[in-house]
Structure 1
Amino acid sequence: MGLVLLLLAAPLLQVLLVNRSPWGGPDLVTLAVVWLALARGPVWGCVAGLVAGLAADVTPPADGTVGRAALVLSVTGLLAGHWRERRPLLVAGAAAALGTVLQAAAAVALGDEPWRSAVTGLPLVLAWTVPLGAVVGAVLVRRRPPAEVPRRV
Structure 2
Amino acid sequence: MGLVVMVFAAPLLQVLLVNRSPWGGPDLVTLAVMWLALARGPVWGCAAGLVAGLAADVTPPADGTVGRTALVLSVAGLLVGFWREGRPLPVAAAGAAMGVLLQAAAAVALGDDPWTAVVPELPRTLGWTVVLGALVGVLLLRRRPRRIEPYRV
Question: Counterpart of 2:53?
Answer: 53
Partners of 1:27 and 1:15 in 2: CA distance: 10
Distance 1:150 1:45 in 2: 27
Report the alpha carbon displacement of residue 89 of structure 1 after superposing the two structures with TM.
1.3
Residue 41 of structure 1 aligns with an amino acid whose one-letter code is G
Q: Tell me the SS of whatever aligns to 2:145.
A: coil
The SS at the match of 1:11 is helix
The CA distance in 1 between the partners of 2:96 and 2:152, in whole Å, is: 40
Structure 1 residue 59, shift from structure 2 partner: 0.0
TM-score by length of 2: 0.98
TM-aligned CA deviation for residue 150 of structure 1 = 2.9
Deviations 1:32-67 (A, max 9, x none): 000000000000000000000000000000010000
Structure 1 residue 152: deviation in Å?
A: 4.2
Report what 1:34 is aligned to.
Answer: 34
Match of 1:87 in 2: 87
Instruction: Count residues in correspondence.
Output: 153
Deviations 1:51-105 (A, max 9, x none): 0000000000001000000000000000000000011211010000000000000
Could you say what secondary structure the match of 1:146 adopts? coil
Query: Residue 104 of structure 1 aligns to which amino acid in structure 2?
Result: A
Q: Please give the alpha-carbon distance, in whole angstroms, between the structure 2 residues aligned to 1:76 and 1:152.
A: 36
Tell me the TM-score normalized by structure 1. 0.98
Q: Identity, % of aligned pairs?
A: 76
Gaps of 5+ in 1: none
1:54-73 aligned within 5 A: 54-73=54-73
